[in-house]
Structure 1
Amino acid sequence: MIKTITRIGNSQGLIFDQSLMEQARLKPGDILNVTVTKSGAIVLMPARRAAADNEEVKTRARALIRRHDGLFRKLA
């Protein structure tokens, strides 16, 4: 796939069309790690998400328990 560097305000950038976003499994707002190899190749990799904080874990656990309440009652 060939892309052209485009002026975006006072910067330059690449426009990722929808098919490229889908192929790379990216969505707006995703964070990418950008590296440049010795040969000058630019490599974009999705940044690993930081570990969930305690509040997020609690919220997800409560949602899981609510969603499977009947199962947990049978197992108790």
Structure 2
Amino acid sequence: MHKKITKIGKLHALVFDVALMELARLKTSDDVNVEVHAGGTITITPLRSRPSAGEVAATIKGVMKDYARTMRRLA
């Protein structure tokens, strides 16, 4: 994908269109990590927090409750 660096006030920016933001699963104000590698390559990585053990357990319990009948048949 070809993008152009634009000037916004005194800053320089890459403008991402909606399709690119959706593909990267990014929203306005999301935190990202920006790294500059040897040779000038720039990597932008989304910073997403991992769910806690409690959140994972609650999700599993909810799924098991929703699909209890199916799970019993599969057992």
TM range (shorter): 0.5 to 0.7
Gapped runs of 5+ residues in structure 2? none
Greater Cα offset, 56-65 or 38-47: 38-47
Map of 1:5 onto structure 2: 6
Map of 2:62 onto structure 1: 63
Higher helix share: 2
TM-score normalised to structure 1 length: 0.62
Answer yes or no: is the 8 Å Cα contact 1:6–1:15 preserved in 2: no
Query: Runs in 1 of length 4+ with deviation above 4 angstroms?
Result: none
Aligned-residue CA RMSD (Å): 2.8
TM-score normalised to structure 2 length: 0.63
Gapped runs of 5+ residues in structure 1? none
Residue identity (%): 27
